[in-house]
Structure 1
Amino acid sequence: MYGLMLGNLNNQDFEDNRITSLACYVKKVEELYSILENENRENKENMDNDGNDSEKIHLENDGKRELYFRGQDSIDYRNTCPSLFRNEKYYANESNMINDFIAKYPDLFKDCQNNVDRLALMQHHQLPTRLLDLTTNALIALYFAVEKDNCKDGVVYVFNNFYNKEFIDKALNVSFSELDVSHSIFKCLRIKSSKRDSFSDQVEIETSLARMKRKDSKGFIKEVMKFYEGLSKYYSAKNQKVYWKDAYEEYLQNLHRQQHKCSFKDICMCNTKKILNLYDDFNNAIPTIRLYHAIERDSGNFDHIINPVEMYLPKIVTPRIIDQRIKNQQGLFMLIPIDFDPDPNPKPDLDPEVKTKKRRNRIQSRINTLLYTNKENEAVAFTIPCCMKEKIRKELSNIGISKSFIYPDATHYAEDIADSYLN
């Protein structure tokens, strides 16, 4: 395959599409959407013919498959990880960077209603965050792939909102190869779609965790790992009939019926009691309580309910349109959850580059769960040879996709005017 020596991105197999012009790219993207339309129609027909009403309702709530695009100006990056995970010092000081930025420019965030709004603004002002920029507009992604003349081939990756089960298995092997965590915990989640809005409770939990002090967030991650390992013991038991998804839904229904908080220990379902007691211990642990307090300081009242299993998977988050750049770029984000480091207390003399590489591999494997694939389960990507970048940039400019559109401010508009007289 040309160009895509994608033994990068954790050795993921890719279907390579070489792009030599804007017209070529548009044609290939149109073919993708045609395939997607057929897939969605077939999925709907299969749902209509499915006699399992509860599963049908769940799938309908997941909605249709959608496509998202990410352009990178160099195929040699060999990862699509957010900037936060590419540098060990950035990762270690995530909460400090966030809180320093808010303290320095409080007026910038006056219209923000939650932490994902704040992270989105920080991302657009080049602060390293755990958000991965995506767009629903394939032309915007193409611009980012050809933006720089750096003698490197550009690339556009294609993501979607449905998790790939095979890729989840690969990610679990990378994340938990050294830990006693059963894949069955995640397989029975029955979550198909990753899409969340900016007011999702799960999104608020994960973005609030990013603002906590490093010591507190590490304590919470240890509690999540303890829960995973405890839950795995029940899944390895013979004739185990109770799954976490079922137990969690039973608890939520019980809360709704009683209209007040209760302990999992109050639920008298013999088959689920041990699993629910395990969760009760997690929910009442000091690091978890500290996280709830952090959320309440930011957003007011918040039910003390976390689904720790869902925290493993990345989410596609649609932000509010809080600035012109997000609007023009038709941007949305992949929110990368907490990193499950099998060695949370490594030796002080461990090479930071080694730590960063291991973390990047773990994170990349989870990002890969949302790659869009063809029938052969190869992820789809488009490569743009470096010799074609200038030509395609001009073609994009002719239809209004230029630097001043992507970055709407006076400086970039002036650059576009000046460039127009050079061409």
Structure 2
Amino acid sequence: MHELKLENLGSQCFEDNKITSLADYVQKVEELYSILEKENNANEKNNSEEDNVCGENNSEGDQAKELRNDGKRELYFRGQDNIEYGNTCPSLVRNKKQYNHESNMINDFLAKYPDLFKDCQNNVDRLALMQHHQLPTRMLDLTTNALIALYFAVEKDNCKDGVVYVFNNFYNEEFVDKALDASFTFELDKLAIIPHSSSKDHKVLKLKSAKRDSFSDQIEIETSLARMKQTDSKDFITEVTKFYQQLSKHSKSDKEVWGKAYLDYLKALNKRIDYSSLSCDAGKLLHKYDNFNDAVPTIRLYHAIERDSGNFDHIINPVEMYLPKIVTPRIIDQRIKNQQGLFMLVPFIFDNKGVGTESLLTKTQRLINTLLYTRRDVHTGKDKAVAFTIPCCMKEQIRKELSNIGISKSFIYTDATSYAQDIANSYKN
């Protein structure tokens, strides 16, 4: 395999797996899942051994070596019909003017077609419907079905090679480091940003999956933020960035200080916590968290969430907002069901280096890259993301092969027009 150069994807190195037929693609995907099964089995074994060993003394260095995944790794696929596209960003991010009017577009659509959203239970449902009606949103379409992604990669005869990118539900620590370095002038430890939990004996950190369901409080927070006026959302982003800077002063001495302090906070939702009983760093952080929680922009966000979801505890974990999440939507239409679709919720940009230093596209792509599925290159020792490229000359053949197994336009788009086109094409040649 030679290296695929995709400079606009954060200069990320990719394995280039060229696809010449449907059978070739299926074989390569099966190889991926075989590797994934071994990884998950090894992780499950390590977690089981850890549960059986209590009371051992682990140094901080040992903790780093013993880092485990809390859950199984899953794969998600995204097909694009033009490899020269140069990014995997959602449509909203590719147009700066639309990005600056995100909340206006969402609320205008809701006002124009209220009946369309009558069965929606939260903002994820609403954004998913808007996405399928081609309104630009911060939701990036993914699928658990590699064949569906392949269809999107070969859908158009545009004289361009197609490509399928592979994502997963755990953050790549190296890519998170790159994103943090590019975002902030201060040093913020990745373990303060990557969601994690402690093991039973509280000596081993476990990375938490980036996957959330559509009723997740965290997802409701971020999708409600998308509906706020731009001035209000910017003010909130400023508050979060301030908190990151304050957190950076503590994370060097104790990488778990925020995680432990926040768990203590959650145990007492009435906020009547005796900070003096906590460590000095934890107590100081919780005082700063109180300031963040009581800031006017944060209170405005709480009001927005309650408008959309009803009662909501006034609890936000600011560090959860930095990285993208994988969201599983409710099956609210046939298209989501057939496409086995899910979304990556692309986060707002939090940084203190200034808007003009890099484009919005570059900043967003760097965050998206943190969920790329990678394999370690045995020669260089570096992680390479996995991608499948389909030469333009093979697109028509692979479309026919996909159609033979039922993956056609009418299956993907589930409307009468698509079905009619499929019928017409079947008699064309």
| 1:350-376: CA deviation from partner (whole Å, max 9, x where unpaired) | xxxx78x61111111111111111132
Match status 1:362 vs 2:371: no
Q: Find the partner of 2:328 among 308, 318, 324.
A: 318
Percentage of pairs with the same residue? 69
> For residues 256 and 49 of structure 2, what CA distance do their matches in structure 1 show?
27
> What letter matches 1:113 in structure 2?
Q
Q: Find the partner of 1:219 among 235, 245, 266.
A: 235
> What letter matches 1:248 in structure 2?
Y
> What letter matches 2:270 in structure 1?
K
1:402 equivalent in structure 2: 408
> What letter matches 2:16 in structure 1?
D
Match status 1:90 vs 2:98: yes
| 1:366-392: CA deviation from partner (whole Å, max 9, x where unpaired) | 111111111322110000000000110
**2:15, 2:385 within 8 Å by CA — same for their partners in 1?**
yes
| 1:289-314: CA deviation from partner (whole Å, max 9, x where unpaired) | 00001101111110000000011011
Alignment of 1:50-199 (within 5 A): 50-51=50-51, 62-176=70-184, 179-184=185-190, 186=192, 189-190=195-196, 191-199=207-215
Q: CA, structure 1 residues 393+240, in 2 after alignment: closer, same or farther (shift >3 Å)? A: closer
- What is the CA distance between 1:264 and its match in structure 2? 5.5
Q: CA, structure 1 residues 64+126, in 2 after alignment: closer, same or farther (shift >3 Å)? A: same
1:40 equivalent in structure 2: 40
Q: Secondary structure at the match of 2:208?
A: coil
> What letter matches 1:128 in structure 2?
P
**1:160, 1:372 within 8 Å by CA — same for their partners in 2?**
yes
- What is the CA distance between 1:167 and its match in structure 2? 1.0
1:234 equivalent in structure 2: 250
Q: Secondary structure at the match of 1:13?
A: strand
**2:193, 2:320 within 8 Å by CA — same for their partners in 1?**
no
Q: Find the partner of 1:208 among 224, 232, 244.
A: 224
Match status 1:291 vs 2:301: yes
Q: Secondary structure at the match of 2:136?
A: coil
> What letter matches 1:174 in structure 2?
A
My pick for the range that moved more, 199-208 or 182-191, is 182-191
> For residues 360 and 90 of structure 2, what CA distance do their matches in structure 1 show?
12
| 1:382-405: CA deviation from partner (whole Å, max 9, x where unpaired) | 000000001100110111101111
**1:265, 1:280 within 8 Å by CA — same for their partners in 2?**
no
- What is the CA distance between 1:226 and its match in structure 2? 0.7
Q: Secondary structure at the match of 2:348?
A: coil
Q: CA, structure 1 residues 174+264, in 2 after alignment: closer, same or farther (shift >3 Å)? A: farther
Return the structure number with greater strand share: 2
| 1:80-120: CA deviation from partner (whole Å, max 9, x where unpaired) | 01111111101100000000011111111011000000000
**2:3, 2:14 within 8 Å by CA — same for their partners in 1?**
no
TM-score by length of structure 2 reads: 0.89
> For residues 411 and 255 of structure 2, what CA distance do their matches in structure 1 show?
55
| 1:209-231: CA deviation from partner (whole Å, max 9, x where unpaired) | 00000010000000001111112
- What is the CA distance between 1:174 and its match in structure 2? 2.0
> What letter matches 1:410 in structure 2?
A
> For residues 417 and 311 of structure 2, what CA distance do their matches in structure 1 show?
43
> For residues 248 and 34 of structure 1, what CA distance do their matches in structure 2 show?
38
2:278 equivalent in structure 1: 269
Match status 1:243 vs 2:253: no
| 1:23-74: CA deviation from partner (whole Å, max 9, x where unpaired) | 000011111111111111011111111156799xx967x3211000000000
TM-score by length of structure 1 reads: 0.90
2:203 equivalent in structure 1: none
Q: CA, structure 1 residues 124+241, in 2 after alignment: closer, same or farther (shift >3 Å)? A: closer
2:375 equivalent in structure 1: 374
- What is the CA distance between 1:251 and its match in structure 2? 1.2
- What is the CA distance between 1:342 and its match in structure 2? 3.1
**1:2, 1:18 within 8 Å by CA — same for their partners in 2?**
no
The Cα RMSD (Å) is 2.1
> For residues 198 and 80 of structure 1, what CA distance do their matches in structure 2 show?
22
> What letter matches 2:403 in structure 1?
S
Aligned length: 402
**1:184, 1:235 within 8 Å by CA — same for their partners in 2?**
no
> For residues 269 and 2 of structure 1, what CA distance do their matches in structure 2 show?
53
Q: CA, structure 1 residues 405+3, in 2 after alignment: closer, same or farther (shift >3 Å)? A: farther
> What letter matches 1:123 in structure 2?
Q
Unpaired runs of 5+ residues, structure 2, are 56-62, 197-206, 378-382
> What letter matches 1:207 in structure 2?
T
